[in-house]
Structure 1
Amino acid sequence: MENINQFIEQLSLDAALTLEEIPNIDLYMDQVIQLFENKFAESKRNEEEKVLTKTMINNYAKGKLIFPIKNKKYSKEHLILISLIYQLKGALSINDIKVMLAGINKRIINEEIDVDSFYNSYLHLTSKNVRDFKMDMEDRVKEVKEELVDGQHAPSPQLEEVLMISSLVHMSNLYRKVAEKLIDQIPIEREEKRHR
């Protein structure tokens, strides 16, 4: 666990698609995939993992996670939504993401939201989350080491790693459960509710 900071740096946690990196022209699907692949390649777990595929994008469109595209081209607003979906799908079900983004999609269609401002707020919060996470990780490493000493366990890198992994997964589950409860509070259309 001594090299946990090295692992954290390798994760490219700061990787985010900024507004400056999103073209002001509509893109074809292959261009969207290339943009995401270039931006998030460093954050993939292994070489075989795909950041975004045609099937994923088609499923987002068919599942109504994003508002309808026009002329097989994706707007800046579509790219913002796809970026949000990319981050959310690691912790939430596709159906939960759909419920969560339904109101945003409707506001985009009705031109009732400044999507750039909303996305900048999201990026600001994620940047702060990364800083907080790095500080929290230092505390967790110390707590795991202290727990092993207090529990009278012989020093063991394997026990340290198992406790650390278990602690991280537990914390992740706690955050996910709160997010799911918040999603459950979002009012949804009657027709959608029957299919949920």
Structure 2
Amino acid sequence: MADAKQLIDKLALEKKIPTEEIPRIDLYIDQVIQLFDTGFAETKRNPEEKILTKTMINNYAKGKLFYPVTNKKYSRNHVMLINLIYQMKSALSINDVKKVLAGINEKAAQKEIDLSGFYESYLEIQRYNDGIFKENVEQQMEKAQTESADFGDDREEIDKVLLIASLVHMSNLYRRAAEILVDEMVEGEEA
């Protein structure tokens, strides 16, 4: 089994779309897709995988996951919101993502929030989480190896299965915690 550093290197955690790499001019949909393809190319599971497609972006727009675009051009704010959607949709339903971003979208559309500042805070939290994740993966690998010690010759396979199960379990716990917070947001709005 690969060691923790090799696994973490393959994740390309440093691949993000920093604020300074988002053009200050409005972009057409193809340019938005190209920005994401370039920014997240190393995070793909396989080369055929699509990071973002026109259909995805159009569905986000139709679903009102971000405020309307002007003249088929996407502003820096739209790109930041699309990145948030891209990150959240792997763990939350599109409906939950819409609920989470509704207030931010409204504030951004009304220019009541500095979305660049919000996005920078989001990226800073991502970097912080990357450090925690690295430590946690190392701990989980050690625990899986400790637990597989009694399995003799099949130890490497057992290590991997235990580690995969552990990572999935942690992922489920984080997803469920996020869903509870989404529900609390919705309940707070209804009260």
Q: 1:186 Cα deviation (Å)?
A: 1.3
Match of 2:185 in 1: 186
Is residue 2:157 matched to residue 1:154? no
CA distance in 2, matches of 1:31, 1:19: 16
CA distance in 2, matches of 1:172, 1:130: 14
AA partner of residue 16 (structure 1): K
CA distance in 2, matches of 1:58, 1:164: 37
Match of 1:127 in 2: 127
Higher helix share: 2
Greater alpha carbon shift after TM alignment, 60-69 vs 180-189: 180-189
CA distance in 2, matches of 1:109, 1:35: 22
Unpaired stretches in structure 1, ≥5 consecutive residues: 191-196
Query: Which whole-Å deviations, capped at 9, do the CAs of 1:78-134 have from their partners, x for residues lacking one?
Result: 000001111111111111100000010011112111111111110000001111111
Runs of 4 or more, structure 1, over 4 Å off, are none
AA partner of residue 21 (structure 2): E
**Matched ranges for 1:1-196 at <5 A:** 1-149=1-149, 152-155=150-153, 156-187=155-186
Unpaired stretches in structure 2, ≥5 consecutive residues: none
| TM-score, structure 1 as length reference | 0.92
| TM-score, structure 2 as length reference | 0.94
CA distance in 1, matches of 2:138, 2:92: 26
Match of 1:193 in 2: none
Provide the identity percentage: 53
Query: Which whole-Å deviations, capped at 9, do the CAs of 1:21-63 have from their partners, x for residues lacking one?
Result: 0011100001111111111011000011001100000000001
Give secondary structure in 1 for the equivalent of 2:65.
coil
Q: How many residues align?
A: 188
CA distance in 2, matches of 1:21, 1:2: 33
CA distance in 2, matches of 1:50, 1:4: 27
AA partner of residue 174 (structure 1): L
Query: Which whole-Å deviations, capped at 9, do the CAs of 1:131-167 have from their partners, x for residues lacking one?
Result: 1111111111111111123xx3225111111000000
CA distance in 1, matches of 2:83, 2:110: 21
CA distance in 2, matches of 1:119, 1:179: 19
CA distance in 2, matches of 1:186, 1:169: 26
Greater alpha carbon shift after TM alignment, 179-188 vs 12-21: 179-188
Check 1:21–1:58 CA distance in 2 against 1; reply closer, same or farther (3 A cut).
same
